[in-house]
Amino acid sequence: MDKEIKTPKVGFTLWFTGLSGAGKSTIANILEKNFRESGLKIEILDGDIVRTHLSKGLGFSKEDRDTNIRRIGYVASLLSRNGVITITAAISPYRVIRDEVRNMHDNFVEIYAKCPLEIVEKRDVKGLYKKARSGEIPQFTGISDPYEEPLNPELTVETDKEKPEDSANKILTWLKENKYINA
């Protein structure tokens, strides 16, 4: 990873979206380590962790999912407008809510962690897809609830074809080329 990153001109949000198991958190953690080693202010808002604290008590109905994503988006916008690089790693399955969150931000970078359903099901370390297929988990994104792929993300990383480090480097390169961070 490139250790020559300097302070960003402004804060920004890297908004990862993709199916459960697509690699969002893995890539986010690689980026976080790189940014921290470069002395940058960074915060990760991971979907699972946010649900434990900020969105405790919400279920998985469409309304509750939308509320959860709006909360994550609001916190991310507060952090980024105060000069913090904010990375979100939440499924955020619905386009309209992702677009609503985009509109809360001055500097928003949508990153689609693209991975076919059959691959994320094979990676399923938590056993969630198996439970969803058996009916134990209702309204599970990609199985019984839709996932709406982004139409125009700033970046797409194909996590079934790229190593996580390669995806992270692709993102860093894009950020440099688009002047979010200095080379």
| CB neighbour list of residue 131: distance below 8 Å, 6 or more residues apart | 137, 140
Q: Catalytic annotation on 134?
A: no
Residue 1's pLDDT is: 55
Contact between 131 and 137 (Cβ < 8 Å):
yes
Q: Which residue has the higher pLDDT, 4 or 56?
A: 56
Fill in the amino acid letter for 132: A
**How many Å apart are CA 136 and CA 138, to the nearest integer?**
6
**How many Å apart are CA 109 and CA 84, to the nearest integer?**
14
Q: Which two tokens stand for residue 179?
A: 């002047």
What's 45's DSSP letter?
Answer: E
Of the residues 38, 55, 92, 167, only one is catalytic, namely: 92
Q: How confident is the model at residue 14 (pLDDT cuts 50, 70, 90)?
A: very high
Tell me which residue has tokens 């996580």.
Answer: 164
Domain covering 12-177, topology: Rossmann fold (3.40.50)
**How many Å apart are CA 89 and CA 27, to the nearest integer?**
9
Contact between 93 and 145 (Cβ < 8 Å):
yes
- Model pTM score: 0.90
| CB neighbour list of residue 78: distance below 8 Å, 6 or more residues apart | none
Residue 3's pLDDT is: 53
104 has pLDDT over 90: yes
